[in-house]
Amino acid sequence: MKNRKGQALVEFIIILPVLVYVLLVMIDIFVIYNKKSSLEGRMEEVVYLYKNNRSAEIKDYLNKDLENVNFKSQNDGKYTYIVVDMEYEFMTPGLSNIVGKKYDIKCERVIVNGE
């Protein structure tokens, strides 16, 4: 009965790194979701700029608050495909070994030409 407090402390010390790791993974997932949501919110303005032949302004608009955002468009005659993407580097140690070095956050839109 005397070792109860010591046993609880040892169990807590054993489980603490796992809890911290899970917390860091949850923060990474939240940051990815936040960046994806931010890109999705900007897509309407990107489509507007593209339709009004102001493609030169798109990169500056996207990189105003976010970093290293790439913009690509492809026209096949009937449709125009607009892709905005960025890479996210995980802050959680070891997670990049499981998921991959970087996570690609991507938003896509398809525009019917002539509308």
Average pLDDT over residues 107-114: 86
State the pLDDT at residue 36: 92
pLDDT in tens, 9-57: 888 899 999 999 999 999 999 999 999 998 898 888 888 888 888 878 8
Distance CA 69, CA 8 (A): 48
State the pLDDT at residue 11: 87
| Token pair in block for residue 69 | 């955002």
**Count of domains for the chain:** 1
Which ranges of the chain would DSSP assign to H, the alpha helix?
4-51, 56-62, 95-99
CA-CA-CA-CA dihedral for 14, 29, 102, 58, to nearest 10: -160
What is the reported pTM? 0.78
Beta-carbon contacts of 91 under 8 Å, excluding residues fewer than 6 positions away, are 24, 27, 28, 31
pLDDT in tens, 52-96: 888 788 888 888 878 888 888 888 888 989 999 988 888 888 877
State the pLDDT at residue 26: 92
What range does the domain containing 98 cover? 4-112
